[in-house]
Amino acid sequence: MEILIMQVSLFVLALMLGVELITKVPPTLHTPLMSGTNAISGIALVGAILAAGNADGGEVARWLGFVAVVLASINVVGGYMVTNRMLAMFKRKD
C-alpha cells in the first residue's frame, strides 16, 4: 500500500511539474513539443521489453509484448528523429 501511495504522489507531482514546464513552451514550438512528447511516451518500451522477455504468460503474452516493443520503438525512433528534423529548421536562422 505504501508503494502505491508513493506512486500516486509521484504521478501527481510529475503532472504538476509538467504543467509548469509546458506552459512556458512558446506556440512556435508546439508541433515539435507534440512529436517530442510522442517520443517520450515511447518510454512504454521499458515495460514492453520486460513483457516481451518474460515467459510466464505463455506465447500470447510474449507476442503482445513484442507488438508493444514494435509500437514503442516506432515512437522512440520516429518521435526523436522527426522532432530533431523540425527543430533544426528553427535553429538554422540563429
Partner 1 sequence: MLEIGMNLAYLAAAILFILGIKGLTRPKTAVRGNMLSATGMFVAVAVTLLDNSIVSFELIIAGALLGGAIGAVLAKKVQMTAMPQLVAVLNGFGGGASLGLAAASYLQTLGGAGFAEGALGTITLITIALTVIIGSLTVTGSLIAFAKLQEIMPGQPIGFPGMTGFNALLLIGALASSVMLAIDPTNTLYFWLAIGLAAVLGLTLVLPIGGADMPVVIALLNSYSGIAAAFAGFVMGNTVLIVSGSLVGASGLILTNIMCVAMNRSLPNVLFGRMGADTGGEGAGDEIYEGKITSASPDEVGMLLETAQKVIIVPGFGMALSQAQHAVRELADAIERNGGEVLYAIHPVAGRMPGHMNVLLAEAEVPYEKLVEMERINPQFDDCDVAIVLGANDVTNPMAREDKGSPIYGMPILNVDKARTVVVIKRSLSAGFAGLPNPLFALDNTLMVFGDGKKAVVDITTALENG
Task: Tell which positions 53-92 bind partner 1, by CB under 8 A.
Answer: 53-58, 60-92
To partner 1, the closest distance from the beta carbon of 88 in angstroms equals 7
Of 78, 82, 90, the closest CA to residue 27 belongs to: 90
The minimum distance between CB 5 and partner 1, in angstroms, equals: 11
Neighbours of 51 (CB within 10 A): 20
5 binds partner 1 (CB under 8 A): no
CB 83, CB 36: distance < 8 Å = yes
4 binds partner 1 (CB under 8 A): yes
44-52 vs 58-91: helix crossing angle, rounded to 10: 150
> By rule CB under 8 A, what string of x and - marks binding of each residue 11-40 to partner 1?
xx-xxxxxx-xxxxxxxxxxxxxxxxxxxx
* Site size with partner 1, rule: CB under 8 A: 86
Report which of 41, 29, 43 is spatially closest to residue 83, judged by C-alpha positions.
29
Query: Shortest approach of partner 1 to residue 9 CB, angstroms?
Result: 10
